[in-house]
Amino acid sequence: MTRSTSNSSQGWTVQAGDSPGQVILTGEIDFVSTPAVREQLLAAMDCDAREIVLHLADLNYIDSSGLALFIEAKKLLAESGRTIRIADISGQVRKLFNLTQLGELFGLTE
């Protein structure tokens, strides 16, 4: 069952997908929204899945604070022997991951 948490008035949503460990982020993540997104992302990661899979196909924008959040999530998961990867990503957000050379860190290929 899909669980949804959002702040659509601010333009973002975090949903736990149908399978444990799937997390769907949509909208825009920026400096203002990152603390709330962080809270919801960490809650979504609180499951028994060994791998968290991020679905970012409908994430239209992310700034450096959002990228830092993903790096923090990766570090937290690594501490317990878990992993995180990006399954799908919007073209605009992919450009930022490529520009910052973070794509490989999250399993993205060119």
Q: Which domains does the chain show, CATH number per domain? A: 3-100 (3.30.750.24)
- Quick one: pLDDT at residue 17? 87
Q: Tell me the sheet residues that pair with 3.
A: 16
- Quick one: pLDDT at residue 3? 47
- What average pLDDT does this structure show over 37-56? 94
Q: For the whole model, what pTM was predicted? A: 0.88
Using the predicted structure, report yes or no on whether residue 1 has a pLDDT greater than 60: no
Using the predicted structure, report yes or no on whether residue 29 has a pLDDT greater than 80: yes
65-87 burial string, b = 16+ CB within 10 Å, else e? bbbebbeebbeebeeeebebebb
Which residues, 6 or more positions from 48, have their beta carbon under 8 angstroms from its beta carbon? 20
Using the predicted structure, report yes or no on whether residue 2 has a pLDDT greater than 60: no
